[in-house]
Amino acid sequence: MSVPLSLLALLSQGPAYGARIKADFEERTGRAFPLNVGQVYTTLARLERDGLVVADGGPDDEGRIPYRLTDAGRAEVGTWWERPVDRTEPARDELVMKLALAVATPDVDAHAVIQHQRTAAMAHLQRLTRAKLALSAPGSPPQTEPVPTPTSLSDEVVLEHRLYAVESELRWLDHVEGLLLHRRAPQSAPAPSVTLPSAASATAAPSAARPAPDPSTPISRPAAPDTRH
């Protein structure tokens, strides 16, 4: 998650101090990515060092200093909106690392690891689904824990992404389990080979293909045509 660029994006709407930026960030990202106010001020200090933000006047009565974008900061935000997010390098996903290690460790039951994760993912999917259904249930009290009911389009965008992510995770777990079953299944016995006679042997020994006629059996011939009128 690019916190510095996210803060620049918020400041593109106007000057703000750290606590206000923190509140705006969490509100506009569905409260799915909480920030520490200390992290916000540390990031603002780095952005100021890099010439992307500056203090907008002195501190107010409570000692809070608002920040605003510089021209370089505004250009950086504009580039961020246009630049696609780089997905070529995989993110450090704990579950991926955990399962990759589990399937390669002989004394670890990878199937059990998958089942534990599947159970947790299903429970989380149900919570997310209840939060989504609350949008279409007028009069129902909003869900606040553990997944808040979306109250804005930004909230809904984040919630939908979380739903798709959990559904994708469940499909991936099923796939990995199938790979395990396939790799560890005993190999079936090979079918017995059948040697077919060659064309030469079949021509050289036709008697082997069919029995010789019995000489005691009379040979039947077709009846002669009747020429009488």
Give the model confidence (pLDDT) of 174-218 as tens digits: 999 999 998 876 555 455 554 545 444 444 444 444 444 454 444
Whether 71 and 109 share a structural domain: no
Residue 166 · residue 121 · CB < 8 Å: yes
Residue 12 lies in a domain: yes
Of 82, 112, 142, which residue is a domain's last?
82
Whether 166 and 101 share a structural domain: yes
Tell me the residue range of the domain where 26 lies: 3-82
Residue 73 lies in a domain: yes
Calpha distance 48→41 (Å, rounded): 10
SS3 133: helix
Of 40, 61, 82, which residue is a domain's last?
82
Residue 99 · residue 113 · CB < 8 Å: yes
Calpha distance 124→146 (Å, rounded): 9
Residue 200 lies in a domain: no
Backbone region of residue 97 per phi and psi (left: phi > 0; alpha: psi in -120 to 50; beta: other values): alpha
Residue 45 · residue 98 · CB < 8 Å: no
Candidate ranges 23-32, 42-51, 80-89, 219-228; pick with highest mean pLDDT: 42-51
Residue 213 lies in a domain: no
Q: What is the pTM of this model?
A: 0.68
Residue 37 lies in a domain: yes
